[in-house]
Amino acid sequence: MSDSRTGTPRAEASRATHGDPAGGARPTASTRLDPARLATAVFRHTDPRLGEFTFIPLDPREDAALLHRWVTHPKAAFWLMGEATEEEVAEEYGRIAAHPHHDAFLGLHEGRPAFLAERYDPAHVELAGLYDHRPGDVGMHFLTAPSGTPVHGFTRAVITAVMAMLFGDPAARRVVVEPDVRNTAVHALNAAVGFEAAATVAKPEKDALLSFCTRDAFEAAVAAADGPAAPGTPATGTTAGHDGPAATRTAPAGTDAAAAGGAAT
């Protein structure tokens, strides 16, 4: 599944817009990346049933065609980029790459592209001036790739990996999300990993359900679902530092939010 980045609405497909939030779908047509890209990994998380999830920095140009297929898929309506061209997708993620408080990652499952994750500082992006910011707050969006092959628990595993990545930064105390109030599937998914809804916030592109998840709440939710899980690890030679993703996204610059419609986390 925005932002103060551009001042225009985007969306959020938390962005579990693809697949069943209770089950999920694993992409089947993705190709393994060049080993050189894999070497840029910033974080890895191992799910006891589904295997390894890896986060690498998104390349706005190299990944534009792949992202365009994902964000314009009908199931990604809440991402609010359904009408975007491939060039507009590249430009949007180029802006994120250049932003000091927002970054994006290509998520891999067993070495293959499977999801998109964004991390942002809600004091500067998405929620600036709209809520009572606390030190250690981090915002997040995520989008799973479309697939016709359901894999039980895949979307839950993705959001768990994303949360583990965010809390891999010791400075992160609370994850903040702002999905569309209509996105009930994402609300249930968020609750499953420890989020608690706090308030409805009016944003230019939507009414958002402001929700928070502390480190303790996340760890308790994971333990309740699967038993204590080993934390993910920053990749060798990298950090999982916090700039500021999973909330509702907003439409890219030049996109009409009302026309774009939809929302994710």
Strand partners, 91: none
How does strand 112-120 pair with strand 196-203?
Answer: unpaired
How does strand 112-120 pair with strand 206-214?
Answer: unpaired
Class of domain 35-260: alpha beta
Q: What gap in Å lies between CA 233 and CA 240, rounded to an integer?
A: 9
SS3 of 109, please?
strand
pLDDT tens for the chain, 265 residues: list them: 333 333 333 444 444 333 334 345 554 445 678 889 999 999 999 999 999 999 999 999 999 999 999 999 998 988 989 999 999 999 999 999 999 999 999 999 999 999 999 999 999 999 999 999 999 999 999 999 998 888 999 999 999 999 999 999 999 999 999 999 999 999 999 999 999 999 999 999 999 999 999 999 999 999 998 765 555 666 643 323 222 222 235 444 333 222 222 224 5
Question: What is the Rg, in whole angstroms, of the alpha carbon atoms belonging to the chain?
Answer: 16
Q: What gap in Å lies between CA 44 and CA 29, rounded to an integer?
A: 22
pTM, two decimal places: 0.79
Length of the chain: 265
Strand ordering across the sheet containing 196-203: 196-203, 206-214, 174-177, 137-144, 112-120, 102-109, 51-57, 43-47, 233-234
Strand partners, 203: 206
